[in-house]
Each structure stands twice: as C-alpha cells, then as structure tokens.
Structure 1
Amino acid sequence: MTTDAEYQARIISYDWDNLIILWSEIKARNTSNFWDAGKALEYLILRAFQLDGAEVAWPNTVKIRDKIVEQIDGVVYTDSLACLIECKDTTEEVNIEPIAKLRNQLLRRPATAIGSVFSRTGFTEAAVILTGFVAPQTILLWGGEEIEYSLANKCICKFLVKKYRVCVHKGIPNHDITTEIFS
C-alpha cells in the first residue's frame, strides 16, 4: 500500500496540466495503479489549492491520548479562510454522512474554520438541503463540474472565497461557481 508521504511526493510534481489529466482519469475511473481508491481526488484537490497559492496541510490522522479520533483529508489556508477538506470519489451521489462527519470535525475547531466537501458525482438532494442546516458550521459543497471548472481556470482559491461569500450572504452552501463569469 502506498503511504501518504509517497502520494504527497508524487502529486507535488504535478502542474495544472497534469492535474487536468489526472482529473480525466478520475472521471473515467481509470487512475494508475499508484492511486488507491479515493486518494487521487484527495491529492488532486490539495495540489490545485497549493498551485493557486494556498497553504496546504496534507492528509493526516488526529490522535488524542494515542488514539486515532479523526482522519483529515487535508486543510487549506487562503484569504484568511481555514478550510477542512473532505473528498469523496464514489459512483453515487454523496449523501449526508460525510457532511455530518465533517461537521463533527469542525465542532472541535475554532468557530472561524469552515469545511468543503468535494464529490466527483455530486450530492443527493437531501444532502444539499441538510447541509444548509449544519449551522453554526459552514460546509461548502463542490461537485465534479466545479472541480473541472476550477482546474480549467487555474483558480480554485478565488472560487472558494466566492462560494464562502455567497454562503454568508444567501445561506447557500452549494453555490455553483460554473455560473460565474471568470475574470
């Protein structure tokens, strides 16, 4: 099994073009033997943020008294936002469970921390509706089209800030950034 350090060392060599290729492989469910299930998406998202200028904390486990209590897919720091990342590369739309898990992780963090769930296949209607009620935590939802749009425009940090601001202003956790005019 590949270690997190090996995944990180590999993804660090990727530029935007390599990420777009990896995204195509993820969508086709045909990643190389190097990537275990779900890992390609986790590292792709974090590398995109890093290439766009964000500070990234790579996947890790959180221990309390030598007991593992959490597995974090990553953390991104950009434009005064601290955002826990959760990635789901499944064949079906994501339901509420990963969102509830992220909510519980946010409960143990400062109130200013937010979360983002990235899903290749999108989210069930129930998950979208219920995400609006996880207050006071803020969790933003990113579907596959938004991931692709962010990669194509090489601008995921700006889109995170935009999604956050729309959520603050309108209470919409799943604002579709692909409807924005890129400038």
Structure 2
Amino acid sequence: MRHDDAYHWPPELLELMIETVPRLIRSKEGVITFLRGAGVSEQLLAPHWALLASDPTKVNKFKIARSVLGRLNEQGDTALGVRRALLKRVTEFENFSSCWPEDQLKAEGLVAQIRKVVNAKDSFTRMQQERDTERRDRLAAHQTERKKAEARRARFTDLRNRLAVLFKEDDPYARGAGLEVLLNDLFATDGVSIREAFAIRDEEGVTHEQIDGVIEVDGNQYIVEVKWWGKPVDIEPMSRQIVRVMSRPEVRGLFISASGFTKPAVGACKDFLAHRVVMLGELREVVLLLEREADIAEWVREKARQATIERLPLVLLGEDF
C-alpha cells in the first residue's frame, strides 16, 4: 500500500470501497442516499439522480460508487472529511442481514478487509505523526540552543566591552565596584546563583562587614571578595576574608585581585585550607574567560579541586590548569 499522499485513498482502498458500498445497500436510490448521508455534495450526486429519474435501467450501483468515490479521491484534502465519514460508516457496519442474501458474506469479508487496511494506514499515520513530532521537537530544541548560544555570545561581547572601559577608569573605587558588577553578570551568564554586594549592620545601623557578593556552585556557597588595587593584596585584607569565611559554617571563599597577591597572603590561604576551602583568582583569568567565552562555573570547580586535592589556593587559568 502506498502512502505517498496522506490526503488520498491508496488504490487498493479505493477499489475495496467501490466493491463494498453497493453490496451494503440493496437499492440504487439507497446507494445515493448512503453517499449523501456521509456528506457527498449534491453536485456529485445530481447526474446519478437525474439518470435514475429518466432511465433507471441504465443506472448501476457499482458505476455510481466508482464515479462518486473516484471523484472524491481526486479532490484530495478538500474532500478529506467526506472520505473519512464514508470509511467510518463502512467500517462500523454490523448488520449484514440488510444486504441481498448473495452479497452478505461477500460484504462482510470486504468490510473486514477495509478495516484491516484502515488500521494499517492509521498505524502508519501515527508513526509518521510521531516522526514529524520528534523532528519538530528536535528542530525547536536546536533553534532554542542556537538562540541561547547567540545570546551568550552577545552577552560576552558586552562584558568584554565593559571590562575594556574599566581598564581606562582612574578611580580605584569605581574600578573595583564596576568589576564587582561585571563579575556578577559573568556568573549570571552561566546560570550561577549569585547574591550581590551587601553589608552586615548592627541594631544601630553601624556596618561591621561588607560582602562583595556570594555565589553558589554545585551546592557550595562562596563569599567573593574583589580588589582592583595598584599593588598586590597583602596579608591584612586576606585575613579579613579568612575571618568572613571562618565565621560562617560550611562556606568557602573566593578572592579575586587585579594586581595579584603577596607571598604571605597566599601562604595564609594555604594554611587555612586545613580548615576551609579558600581560592584565589586574578583579573587576567577573568580576561581569559571572557576571551574564550568559557564556563565560569567550571573555572570555580577547577579551582576548588586544586585547593582541596593539591592544597593550592592560587592556580591560574592558562598557566597552571
């Protein structure tokens, strides 16, 4: 059976219908009425009514069926509803006692064959629909991924441009604040949960602690400290970061500096690794992440692996990874 066109009956089904319909109905008038009941237009039936009225002897039930059903099949999707209604009426036919006695067994066998063909066609149609649905879903997923990739590239372009502007900023405070915001946006690009800068104040409103931000990667929370100074970060600001981490159970630390770290600062972090995970990063790593459009969450994971397994708080992307 061919299924080249879902809107037409295949030839074997058309022939079965032509053989069956006249055997289900005893009279010539009944055949025309049966067709009209399924929705066949009066335009198709009019010539047969006229011939039946003028010369009934020239009317043949099988010729009526061949003429009308053949025309319906040629109409393609415009007659799809009528053809479906005809198939429904035929396949649901149960009382063959209304047929001529000599046609009863033949009609019952033909209806059984039509049901088999229709079931096979329905199975093919369902499989085709499933394949079409799968293909549409696959294309939609591809389009979604493509749009996400385009949006991500645009986001990285914007971040690179903003970082380039920060390099021209002379005010250290404005530079550092701008880098905090940029890093928050970089983390958000890859879906990392973030909490932006906030202050811890007492009941009188006095600030006791300033947190540049908090991120969460794989269920681990990191207090983030960001500095863009003209000299390497020394032991004092590093100690404050260690205290912030130590005063919060299970929290880790990530310190990012634009000017690197002194040996005492790195050493303090390495000693503290016996108690809690603290990682150090440099601005040049952020620049490289932006250039490569890399996943910053994976950067955090790799730093955590180096800190916990190798006991190295400072490893640099592009050099030590």
Whole-angstrom CA distance in 2 between matches of 1:126 and 1:100: 10
Mean Cα deviation higher: 65-74 or 154-163: 65-74
- Structure 1 residue 55, shift from structure 2 partner: 0.8
Aligned position for 2:222: 83
Cα distance in 2 for residues equivalent to 1:121 and 1:75: 22
The yes-or-no answer on 1:117 pairing with 2:252 is: no
Q: Which residue of 2 aligns with 1:5?
A: none
| Residue from 127, 130, 137 that aligns with 2:265 | 127
Structure 1 residue 30, shift from structure 2 partner: 5.4
Unaligned runs of 5+ in 2: 1-153
1:20 equivalent in structure 2: 160
Query: Any residues of structure 2 matched to 1:90-169 within 5 Å, and which?
Result: 90-110=229-249, 112-135=250-273, 136-154=275-293, 155-169=295-309
Structure 1 residue 84, shift from structure 2 partner: 0.5
Alpha-carbon distance between aligned partners in 2 of 1:121 and 1:43, rounded to the nearest angstrom: 18
Measured after TM superposition, the shift of residue 41 of structure 1 is: 1.0
Larger mean CA deviation between 161-170 and 101-110 belongs to: 101-110
- Could you say if the C-alpha distance between residues 26 and 115 of structure 1 is closer, same or farther in structure 2, counting changes exceeding 3 Å? same
**Distance across 2 between alignment mates of 1:114 and 1:171:** 14
User: By how many angstroms is 1:68 displaced?
Assistant: 2.2
Q: Is the 8 A contact 1:163 1:177 kept in 2?
A: no
Give SS of 1:117's match. strand
1:60 aligns with 198
- Contact 1:88–1:119, Cα closer than 8 Å, also in 2: yes
The Cα shift of 1:38 comes to 1.5
Compared CA separation, residues 115 and 25, structure 1 to 2 (3 A): same
**In 2, Cα distance between equivalents of 1:141 and 1:122:** 9
Kept in 1, the 8 Å contact 2:166–2:175? The answer is: no
**Unmatched 5+ stretches in structure 1:** 1-13
Structure 1 contact 54–157 (Cα < 8 Å) conserved: yes
Could you give the per-residue CA deviations for residues 58-80 of structure 1, whole angstroms, max 9, x where no partner exists?
10001233442211000001222
Q: Distance in 2 between matches of 1:43 and 1:173?
A: 24
Match of 1:39, as an amino acid? Answer: A
Preserved CA contact (<8 Å) 1:86 1:98: no
The one-letter code sitting in structure 1 at the alignment partner of 2:174 is D
Residue identity in the other structure for 1:16: F
- Read off the aligned partner of 1:56 and give its amino acid letter: I
Structure 1 position 23, deviation (Å): 1.7
In structure 1, give the amino acid aligned to 2:270: G
Structure 1 CA distance, aligned partners of 2:265 and 2:248? 22
Structure 1 runs of 4+ aligned residues shifted over 4 Å read none
Distance 1:105 1:137, change over 3 A: same
Answering whether residue 169 of structure 2 is matched by residue 29 of structure 1, we say yes
Question: What is the aligned-residue RMSD (CA, Å)?
Answer: 2.1
Separation in 1 of the partners of 2:168 and 2:320? Answer: 26
Larger helix fraction of residues = 2
TM superposition shift of 1:164: 0.3
Aligned-partner SS, 2:234: coil
Q: Which one scores higher on RCO, CA 8 angstroms, separation ≥ 6?
A: 1
Matched position secondary structure for 1:92 = coil
Question: Hey, what's the Cα distance between the residues in 2 that align with 1:85 and 1:78?
Answer: 12
Q: Could you tell me how far apart the structure 1 residues matched to 2:265 and 2:225 are?
A: 14
Q: Counterpart in 2 of 1:174?
A: 314
Partner residue in 2 for 1:73: 212
**Pairwise CA distance, 1:37:** 4.2
What secondary structure is seen at the aligned counterpart in 2 of 1:53?
A: coil
Alignment TM-score, normalising by the size of structure 2: 0.48
